[in-house]
A = this chain, B = another copy of it.
Amino acid sequence: MFFASDNAGPAHPSVMQALMDANTGYASGYGADPQMTRVRDMIRNAFEAPEAAVHLVATGTAANALVLATLSNPWETIFCSPMAHIHEDECNAPEFFTGGAKLTLVDAMDALMTPQGLQDAILAEETRGVHGPQRGPVSITQATEKGTVYNTADLIALTDVAKSFGLKTHMDGARFTNALVSLGCTPAEMTWKAGIDAVSFGGTKNGLIGVEACIFFDPAVSRQFEFRRKRGAHLFSKHRYLSAQMLAYLTDDLWLTMARQANAACAHLVHGLQHVPDVTLLFPPQSNLLFFDAPRALHRRALAAGAVYYVTRGDVDDGPDDELLTGRLVCDWSTDHGMIDRFIAHLTR
């Protein structure tokens, strides 16, 4: 009963097969492999962006930090939600890769930044000539770290605010596809048509071993990105194994299929939890993860029964039985519905 993270399940067999298939003969390194040409074409097609610059890296933090460094100057501040992965879970990687930019936290509802909150935050960073941090790019996580999803109107409203100040926009798409299938829109509608300038297009949390694409709709910064990636030690010599994963991902809609499976598993969890007494869902679950409040005793029982997930805002083992603690449950493409049913059964027993 493993719900700890979408980075803990196996890669999809098609991805493994693609790795095996790629493992023959010689291939030029550092992104000059023929598979990368196909990857680039397929991503451009999928995003209806024939000019986009596309580069691969192996971790989500690398994708975010390198894209943000490319979009910003060291004397700027990046606007993001207080729950943003770039703020909470990257051990200052954005600060490192940008050369010392700052992050400004924007008021958010259910981890979703609001246009008003963004406008207020930008206005509050007055810059005051050269004294304050200058206004830099806006980073939007889609789906959010809390499992919620911006619809395209939300995105347009946010990017409109950014554009009214001349600011660039970045989408942290570690769970891009989970959001995409949740909305049922096209990649273009969720990105450049909604005013997004650059995307961390994640694969690692959605069935790959470790590949993310960095997509710039304006390719002018592509060369700069390549230097940043190389000196960040994120250019793979045996790059074909990154390309192969991404090729498999984009072939036969595997990316969409896996995200739908993960979201469906999460919906199944939601359905089950709604019937568990004393359990309250915290955010509207719209992708592949959810948060819920439950009494300590309930968490303890589930964990004792072998469930694996994170409990925050308190010690599961120490405190009153009826105190509410928050659990996080994450599904991936491989999450078994039977496993979910057993988990729900343990909770309701």
A: which residues have CB within 8 A of B? 2, 4-5, 7-11, 13, 16, 19-20, 23-30, 57-62, 65-66, 73-77, 88-93, 95-103, 128-134, 204-205, 209-210, 224, 226-238, 241, 308
Whether the Cβ atoms of A231 and B100 lie closer than 8 Å is yes
| Chain B positions within 8 Å of A209 at CB level | 19, 238, 241
Contact of A231 with B75 in the complex, beta carbons under 8 Å: yes
* Residues in chain B near residue A20, CB distance under 8 A: 16, 20
Of the residues B10, B129, B232, contact of A93 by C-beta under 8 Å: B232
Residue of B nearest to A20 (CB): B16
Contacts of A8 in B (CB 8 A): 26-29, 238
Q: How far is the CB of A299 from chain B (nearest CB, A)?
A: 18
Of B57, B77, B95, B131, the contact of A230 (CB 8 Å cutoff): B131
Complex CA distance for A10 and B19, rounded to whole angstroms? 10
**Copies in the assembly, this chain:** 4
Q: Select one of B91, B224, B227 contacting A227, CB under 8 A.
A: B91
Q: Which of B4, B16, B100 contacts A28 (CB 8 A)?
A: B4
A interface secondary structure, majority:
loop
Find chain B residues with CB under 8 A from A227 CB: 73, 75, 91, 130, 134
Complex CA distance for A131 and B7, rounded to whole angstroms: 14
Q: Which of B4, B28, B131 is the one whose CB lies under 8 Å from A91?
A: B131
Q: Which 5 A-B pairs have the closest CB atoms?
A: A7-B237, A95-B100, A62-B233, A61-B233, A2-B26
Q: Considering only CB atoms, which chain B residue lies closest to A242 in the complex? A: B210
Chain B min CB distance to A178 (Å): 16
B-chain residues with CB within 8 Å of residue A241 when the two chains form the complex: 11, 209-210
Cα(A308)–Cα(B29), bound, Å: 13
A96 pairs with B5, CB closer than 8 A = no
Closest-by-CB residue of B relative to A12 is: B23
Q: Are A210 and B238 in contact, CB atoms less than 8 angstroms apart?
A: yes
The answer for the CA separation of A40 and B236 in the assembled complex, in Å, is 24
Q: Across the interface, name the chain B residue whose C-beta is closest to A24.
A: B10
Which residues does chain B contribute within 8 Å of A89, judged by CB atoms? 128, 131-132
Residue of B whose beta carbon sits closest to that of A224: B73
6 contacts between A and B (CB under 8 A): A2-B26, A59-B236, A61-B235, A91-B133, A95-B100, A97-B233
Q: Is the CB of A233 within 8 A of B234?
A: yes
Question: What CA separation (Å) do A25 and B334 show in the bound complex?
Answer: 9
8 further contact pairs, Cβ within 8 A, besides A10-B23, A10-B25, A130-B226: A8-B238, A19-B209, A89-B128, A89-B132, A92-B231, A130-B227, A130-B235, A234-B234
